[in-house]
Amino acid sequence: MPRALISVYDKKGIVEFAQELAALGYEIISTGGTYKLLQEAGIKVIKVSEVTGFPEILEGRVKTLHPKIHGGILARGTQEHLEQLQEHDIELIDLVAVNLYPFEKTISKPGVTLDEALENIDIGGPTMVRASAKNFPRITVVVNPNRYTDTIKMLKDKGETTLEFRRQLAAEAFAHTAEYDSIIAGYLNSSQTTGTVPLACFPHHFIISGTDGKSLRYGENPHQRANIYTMDKEGKGLADIIPIQGKPLSYNNYLDTHAAWGLTEEFDSPAAVIVKHNNPCGAAIGDNLLAAYKKALECDPVSAFGGIVAFNRTIDAKLADELVKMFYEVIAAPDFSAESLKILAAKPNLRLLSTKGLSGESVEIKSIGKSILIQDYDKRVEEYPLEAVTNKHPDKEQIANLIFANRVAKWVKSNAIVIVKNGAALGMGAGQMNRVGSAKIALEQAGEKAKGAVLASDAFLPFADTVELAANYGIEAIIQPGGSLKDEEVIKKCNELGIAMVFTGIRHFKH
């Protein structure tokens, strides 16, 4: 008689799965809450302690860690192994269905202690999963409840599971334990356990774990394959958002949506952001979203075509009427009114995303070939004290525009220059190899509107040439981090040309 060992935290579909196995002639062994659930469902089930002849001890810490369990799992089925099993009165186990307690739920509870967290680290479960996956040539191991149906169908159709199917399940099993271990490692390396922040977030061994992978049509280009994964089950990322309408998102859609949403999060006032090729091509704040959107679109309506637009408030019907006039790939906002959805439905391929509850990042990860870089996420720009370094100081309105421009510049690829007036970007220069090149692009885009506007730079101005160029277009105030060897020369040029300049002391490169 074939044997199945079942012990799961996620009990979705487990009763039905066990019933099917029992009908196929499997003897079922189980533990704890799973045993109780199956017994109450009328399924004949054997307690693990009956198999081992040893009671659960140490408050349940030791129950499946026993030769009669692991011998039955790890035996290869060779004559030598079978003889040893017979000698020690151990029976083979043919199928293992185990999934683990979600440790992250425990550590996400407010005020959780280290002792509570440690008590919720599963030991027996991962050991059984790994042992079963190691022995997949003989054993079927199921950690995902969505695989129960496939497993039963194959057992009914073929009388057994195929080697290839067991290999796939084994890969899923190792991924399940790897994710579990990565969460524990991350917790033990975090400030939650150490009480300190410096370097605690960056351990010697850094583990990346992604789940629920979804295939994308292609990557950055059609010849590249791509997937998207969820990295934090307790938080909500873009991978977890199901579009309200429209086609599935592409690799580039996800990148651009992240940039657009991230910039809207910089503002408390109603804000609209338009992104193209991962750079803002329009950004504005206003008394309401419609006013902000119109100002954002004026920045660069040509580039906006086919872009991504994001908002930090609910989209209403009036705004939707304007949005359908332009071709966009994605519209993202915390919510959409019922009336707006009816209007936007006129463009069925347009993706609509609700960003409500979307979690902010704590770290940023980038790959460089066979290496990865990790850094703290460049979080929202706070209104830190501004140091006026020129004879002329900016007035209250200019300060507001300088702060706005500085927030936008953070999201523009370096070297970044942003021109702003009345809470709206007028021109942006991105990704040039020298700063004056970016300034030329931004100022030319702003044109006559640059007169009386302000300029933001994501890093210090290395020479006075950018100031001279800005003065030619009528820029009245500049915000930059400062810190160049030529700071005095740059300040002197501002004083000569009557431009106010403030230093922030903080750089916002974005490569």
- Residues labelled catalytic: 134, 277
Q: At residue 12, what are phi and psi to the nearest 5 degrees? A: -60, 120
Helix (H, G, I), strand (E, B) or coil at 124: helix
Helix (H, G, I), strand (E, B) or coil at 288: coil
CA 242 to chain centre: 14
By C-alpha distance, which of 345, 479, 459 is closest to 401?
479
- Order across the sheet with 3-8: list the strands: 46-47, 27-30, 3-8, 95-99, 140-142
Burial of residue 483 (number of CB atoms within 10 Å: 0-12, 13-18, 19+): middle
What does the buried/exposed string (b/e) look like for 364-377 if buried means 16 or more CB atoms within 10 Å of the residue's CB?
eeeeeeeeeeeeee
DSSP 132-189: HHHTTTT-EEE--GGGHHHHHHHHHHHSS--HHHHHHHHHHHHHHHHHHHHHHHHHHT
| Orientation of helix 435-446 relative to helix 465-472, angle to 10° | 10
Asked if 472 contacts 448 with a C-beta cutoff of 8 angstroms, the reply is: no
